[in-house]
Amino acid sequence: MRIQFDTRDKKPKVWNILVLSCLTVVAIVLLALFGEGVETDIAIGCISIGYFAIVIGMLLSAWVKQIQYNPYSYNTIYYMGFAFFLLSVLVSSSLMTIDMIRFPEEAEAVTLLPALQRSARNYLLISFPFILVFSIALFVSNVSLIRHEGKRVVNVLGIILSFVLLGGEAVIYFMGRMIEEEHFLTFFTMAVSLMAAVYLYFESMLLGSIIANIVAVRYEPDPDKDYLIILGCGLRKDGTPTPLLKGRIDRALRFRQKQLDETGKDLIFVTSGGKGPDEVISESASMKQYLLEQGIPEDHIIEEDQSTDTHENMRFSKEKILKAGEMGKVAFATTNYHVFRSGLCARRVKMRAVGMGAKTKWYFWPNAAVREFVGLLTEHRLKQGLIFGGLIGIYVILALLSHYM
């Protein structure tokens, strides 16, 4: 079923998850204080299973509603990324509760606490096949990228990330085994849990980002647009579009033709991109010339030639559109790996534009996707800090409770 973009007027709220979490904690604490025996342990396990299952459902529901409200939002990354994490916790809790039911004589009063403390490490193990495949793909694509594009720092980002991901998983796994086999001090156990929590956060963000961009790229805008912004991305030495930029323009032209065929409605192109220090003309002028050569009337092209990054692309293009008339319905064309972050920039300038992505060479996409992911991590620092800090705090508390109870 196709999820429609921008069909909701209200942003989904997830405060009910906080309320449910507080109620669940109160129930578990009361059971731990006033209950006793294996029956209490099983009851706590069943409550935990129900809690995680309900929260996963809430996150997935919020994810769908968020896409319907605003598909280009950090919330889509968080909701899906942490839903996958909680799924791993749900599986672990379910298996442990089943063991308590089957072998009650072996159950311990605080069985679930160590399980929750290990949840980040368990998630890394469960997600290892994905990380392994992703890291191999990054490595292979970067080797091909270096062979085609040359040795540059940005062309080895994927190789570095692949080693960091696999190396981090290996270190956390072996340190976790050491904790289970020997009796280490609390601070060592806590250090491993915190390392796992750090990796948990970034793996959740990575997985959520990949899914968010796949959804954004696969979505085909409705053929009812008034304006179509084409985002610039560099020129050849003679001022003509690079293959990457040409792909974006051709994608926009195909959409325009489809809209004409289906509805008979024409649109206005907004060529957006300034002149770089090593470029003979602006990206906007180069794109306009290409469009004219494809038979697009000049009065159907608006030039925006001052922008230097994606945020300025959207902000200055919006100003040009408003200057030309009413905002109308807007779409933008860029490369597939760039759709989500471009949409994020559009919404920040309060322009409800929907994106379409042009294909790129297979070896270029993974490394470019990594750069986009890094770009996403540098934004919304306050929200990320709160979530990351909260995650760290939870695992610190779990480590202390596991040690002293």
Q: Residue ranges of the alpha helices (H) in 150-242?
A: 157-181, 186-218
Residue 346 lies in a domain: no
Q: From the CA atom positions of the chain, what is the Rg in Å?
A: 25
Only one residue has tokens 């033709």, namely: 257
Co-location of 169 and 304 in the same domain: no
Co-location of 209 and 249 in the same domain: no
Say what the pTM is: 0.85
Q: Which two tokens stand for residue 198?
A: 């750090």
> Please, are residues 355 and 216 in contact by the beta-carbon 8 Å criterion?
yes
Co-location of 168 and 31 in the same domain: yes
Co-location of 186 and 251 in the same domain: no
pLDDT in tens, the chain (405 residues): 578 899 998 999 889 998 998 898 888 888 877 877 778 878 888 898 999 999 999 999 999 999 999 999 989 998 998 898 888 888 888 888 887 788 776 655 446 666 677 777 778 778 888 888 888 888 888 888 787 766 776 667 778 888 888 888 888 777 767 765 555 555 666 677 777 778 888 888 888 888 998 899 999 999 999 999 999 988 999 999 999 999 999 999 999 999 999 999 999 999 999 998 888 999 999 999 999 999 999 999 999 999 999 999 999 999 999 998 888 999 999 999 899 999 999 999 999 999 999 988 777 777 777 777 777 777 777 777 777 787 777 777 776 666 655
Co-location of 107 and 212 in the same domain: yes
Domain count, the chain: 2
Q: What is the C-alpha to C-alpha distance for residues 124 and 289, in angstroms, rounded to an integer?
A: 51
Residue 157 lies in a domain: yes
Co-location of 110 and 198 in the same domain: yes
Residue 5 lies in a domain: no
Q: What is the C-alpha to C-alpha distance for residues 293 and 302, in angstroms, rounded to an integer?
A: 16
Co-location of 169 and 204 in the same domain: yes
Residue 160 lies in a domain: yes
Residue 337 lies in a domain: no
> Please, are residues 155 and 145 in contact by the beta-carbon 8 Å criterion?
yes
Co-location of 135 and 167 in the same domain: yes
Residue 147 lies in a domain: yes
Co-location of 153 and 249 in the same domain: no
Q: What is the C-alpha to C-alpha distance for residues 358 and 156, in angstroms, rounded to an integer?
A: 23
Q: Domain of residue 247: give its range.
A: 227-328
> Please, are residues 307 and 334 in contact by the beta-carbon 8 Å criterion?
no
Residue 345 lies in a domain: no
Co-location of 119 and 212 in the same domain: yes
297 alpha-carbon distance from chain centroid: 39
Residue 201 lies in a domain: yes
Q: What is the C-alpha to C-alpha distance for residues 221 and 203, in angstroms, rounded to an integer?
A: 30
Task: Quote the DSSP letter at residue 233.
Answer: -
| Domain termination site, one of 310, 328, 346 | 328
Integer angstrom CA distances of residue 294 from 7, 257, 390: 34, 12, 54
